[in-house]
Amino acid sequence: MLSLLHTVRGGRETPSSPTRIGARRSQRGNAIIEFSLLVPWIFFLFVGALDFGFYAYALISVQNAARAATLQLAAVQANYDQALADPTPLELAVACPAVRGELLKMPNFSDLPADCSARPLDVAVSAFTGPGATPGIRVTVGYDTVPLIPIPGLLTGQLRITRSAGMSVFGD
């Protein structure tokens, strides 16, 4: 008796050649069709992983830029006896190079304004009162990413990242 998978001959199972060869011939094109249907999805996942990696890198870079600028401003401000009431051009002149120094490896670094006042990069400096009425300084950095590959319903292409860092300032 012939089955689709094996034929029993002499108590032993052997592959049935007529049925097996016919089944192989009808399935020859399946692999290439399945491959061609899966390639776009695999490519989409790969590009999505690259976009997500770049976005994570941009988030970390912008946060580090805010921290670096805050640290530099706190060091400059600690040398003065007066608390920071309003951000002055001096504070922005200290914060902007610190932020730009941290964002050197971003793909659109050449598009970043030198004075950090317009998109794709803007820096804002503000004062706050910390615990125990200690004066503090806060730097907020806004950055527009390079256009990413849009994912319908999730990402629109270009994203705005805004991060802040604050530090209390103690005098001598």
pLDDT digits (tens, 9 = 90+) for 46-93: 988 888 898 899 999 999 999 999 998 888 776 654 545 556 677 778
Please report the pLDDT score of residue 110 as a whole number.
83
pLDDT, position 13 = 58
Residues 117, 24: contact at Cβ < 8 Å?
Answer: no
Strand pairing class (6-9; 12-15): antiparallel
> Would you list the DSSP string of 120-150?
TEEEEEEEEE-GGG-EEEEEEEEEEPPPPPP
Rounded-to-integer distance, Cα 128 and Cα 74, Å: 12
